[in-house]
A = this chain, B = another copy of it.
Amino acid sequence: MTGRPSRRQLFGVAGAAAVGAAAGGAIVAVDNEAPQQPPVRAISPYGEHQPAIAGPTPEHAELVALNLLPETDKAALGRLMRLWSDDIVALADGRPAPGDSTPELAVANVALTTTVGLGPRVFELTGHKPPGLDDLPVMRHDRLEPAWSGGDLLVMVGADDAVSVVHAVRRLVADAKPFATPLWRQTGFWNSTGADGRPVTGRNLFGQVDGTGNPAVGTPDFDHTVWSSDGPEWFRRGTTLVVRRIRMNLDAWDELTRSEQERAVGRTLSTGAPLTGSAEHDELDLQARDADGRLVIAENSHARLSHHSVNDGRRIFRKGLNYVQDNGPTRESGLIFLSHQADVAGQFLPLLARLDAADALNDWTTTIGSAVFALPPGFQADSWLAHELLS
C-alpha cells in the first residue's frame, strides 16, 4: 500500500539472496521489478525427531492440551495420530489439510511446525510409558490452576505468522473432535532476531536474556540431554516436554533497582553476561567473590541454581514464549516455560526442586500451570506419529 515493505516482503527478496548465499556467497541481482524467487521457509515434517524441537523458538506458537474422550481406546488414538500426521504434512507444506473449510488460510513459507505430545494417562491405554513421565509434584511456590494444567495430548503449532498458527490449530483440534476435547490453550510469542537481523537468544518480559544456558544444538551434550536413548523401544529418539505457565509480576519487578534485578538473576540485564563475565556465553565463575567477600553470582541467584554444575551435571534444553492474558482492562504477563529432556524425573525434577527451594526470582514469579508430555520421535513419509507405540 505504501512504499514501505513488510518483513516478509523484504524477505521475498532475501529468499533469492539466501539461495545465492547458500551456494557460496554468490553475487545476486536484485531488481524490484523482476519476479522474485519464492523464499524457502518450509520445514520438512519428516525426520528422526519431531522437527520443531531442536529448531529456533518460533515467533508465534499455540499449545493446546486435550483430554481423550472415554471411548477413545488405543486403536482410536492410532487413528487420530494417522489423521494428525497427514494434517502435519499438509500444513508444513502450506497446503490445506483434508476437509479444511478455510483452505485459503493455508499459506506456504511461514516456517510452520507442529509438535505432538502424549500425557502420562495415555500410557494407561497403551503401556510402554517412558520412565519418569509423571505429573510434577506441586511445588511450594506453585499456585496451579486446573485451567492451565495437565492433559492427555498436546499439539503445539509454531510459525512466523500468527494467522497460520490459528488456522493450523483449528484444523488439528477439529480433526481431534471424535477422539479428544480441548482442556487448555496457551498462546505465546518470542523474538529471536536482533535489530540487525542476526539470531539472538531472546528476552522474556522482565527484559532478561532467557535461554543462554542451553546445550548447543548438534553437540553430543545436546543429544544426550534431549533425546531418549533408553526406556521403551518406541520412545528412542523422542523426548519429553514440561510446560509451565509462569506468571510474572512486572510491577513489583520494576520497583527493584537494576543491581537488585541483576543480583537476583546473576546476569547483566543489558547483555545477559554472567556477573563474572562480559559476554552472554561466558562461562559462570561460581567461586568469584567481590571486595567484600560476597559471592558475585549470589547463592540464591537464578543463574547459579539453574546451572548444570550445581545440578550434578544434569541439563535441560529450555525455551520460552512470552504471554499476555487480558482480563478486561487489566493484564497478566508471563512466560510459557518449555523444557525438553530425555527424562523428566531424572533431569528436570531435581532442578525444579532446587529452584523452588531457593531461587531469588520466586519473589516475582508464580507458576500457575504445569503439564508433562512424551514427544514421540519423528516420522517418515511412509509412516505416522507414534506408530511404534500404537500399531
Contact = CB atoms under 8 A, between A and B. Distances in A.
Given A15-B197, A21-B32, A270 B104 contact: yes
B6 A8 contact: no
Contacts of A109: 195-197
Interface stretch (A326-334, A344-352, A381-389): A326-334
Nearest to A43: B4
Contacts of A7: 7-8, 11, 41, 59, 111, 160, 193
> Copy number in this complex?
2
Contacts of A161: 59, 191, 193
A182 interface: yes
Interface of A: 1-2, 4-15, 17-18, 20-22, 25-34, 36, 38-39, 41, 43, 54-56, 59-60, 94, 101-105, 107-111, 147, 160-164, 166-167, 170, 181-185, 187, 189-199, 202-203, 205-207, 209, 216-218, 250, 253-254, 269-270, 322, 324, 326, 328-331, 333
A32 B23 CA distance: 10
Contacts of A6: 56, 59, 111, 160, 192-193, 199
B203 A9 contact: no
A45 B104 CA distance: 35
B9 A166 contact: no
A203 B163 contact: yes
A193 B8 contact: yes
Contact of A104 (B11, B101, B203, B322): B203
